[in-house]
Amino acid sequence: MTVLTFTLLVLVTGLLAGFVGSLTGLGGGLVVTPVLTLLLGVDIKYAIGASLIATIATSSGAAAAYVRDGLSNIRIGMLLEIATVFGALFGAYLGSIVSTRVLSIVFGLVMLQTAYQSARARHESQVAMPPDPLAEKLGLDGEYKTPQGTVAYHVQRVKLGFLLMFGAGTFSGLLGIGSGSLKVPAMDLAMRLPFKVSTATSNFMIGVTAAASAGVYLGRGQIEPNIALPVMLSVLAGSMLGAKVLPRLPVRTLRIGFAVLVAFTAVTMITKGVRGI
């Protein structure tokens, strides 16, 4: 494969990753890491380094649009970022001592659980739960606009969400996925945020989480500019496109698309890890 062909493939990958990452709140790493390793033969640790840069670009491209549209809950994002940053630093340290095969298997298992949880329909009775006193004290409840009007929501189980975010940050630093694949279900299922608010708030958060662990990978020399630069530019373009599309898509479509993509990639990465290829 020539350098030009490789670069073009990376650009296409980044554009797709940014678009999907923006729509689902995943940060693009869910697409970048598997494609670079499975299709282009990049070592997974260098793929993770490039994926973290892609995640920062996704956040930069989409977060501003979501904040402007009132979808992101900034108070929740800033609170949960405290947990994800410490988790990301811990995960980046673990990444230096965990083998490539184990990384692939862990990556896949985490995503399978994410796909299962995201595909499950939430009952309306669960949404209408009383507000969490801590959420009220911190002013975390919010509202967002829909074609049918403004919808208010109450935040649930803030402490559980904070704990889950430390785990999400750990996987971000370990796997280079921006941890959106864990943040979105944590906010959606545990904290009971509307799915689009979870997605938008995840995009707001993932750049900070990824930056914390990207510095560690940079210090270890595992961010290759020839890979990271085209990924960053194309992911940025894709994320801005996704930010324009998200408000128009139905929630059910987002959930199913999210689950299918995550499950397919998970099986592929587990197979790679088990076979050691």
SS3 assignment for 233-270: HHHHHHHHHHHHHHHHCCHHHHHHHHHHHHHHHHHHHH
Q: How confident is the model at residue 136 (pLDDT cuts 50, 70, 90)?
A: confident
User: Model confidence over 227-249: pLDDT tens digits?
Assistant: 888 888 888 788 778 878 877 77
User: Which residues, in sequence order, are CB contacts of 134 under 8 Å at separation 6+?
Assistant: 158, 159
Average pLDDT, the chain: 78
User: Model confidence over 32-51: pLDDT tens digits?
Assistant: 777 788 778 888 778 888 88
- Considering the entire predicted model, what is its pTM? 0.68
Is the Cβ–Cβ distance between 166 and 86 less than 8 Å? yes
Highest mean pLDDT out of 67-71, 170-174, 208-212: 67-71
Structure tokens at 12: 């296409």
State the first-to-last Cα distance of the chain, in angstroms, to the nearest integer: 19
Q: Say if residue 125's pLDDT is above 80.
A: no
User: Model confidence over 93-106: pLDDT tens digits?
Assistant: 887 787 767 877 87
Per-residue DSSP letters for 162-192? Answer: HHHHHHHHHHHHHH-STTHHHHHHIIIIIS-
Alpha carbon distance 39, 265 (integer Å): 12
Q: Say if residue 276's pLDDT is above 70.
A: no
Alpha carbon distance 16, 60 (integer Å): 16
More reliable by pLDDT, 56 or 134:
134
Q: Say if residue 31's pLDDT is above 80.
A: no
Q: How confident is the model at residue 266 (pLDDT cuts 50, 70, 90)?
A: confident
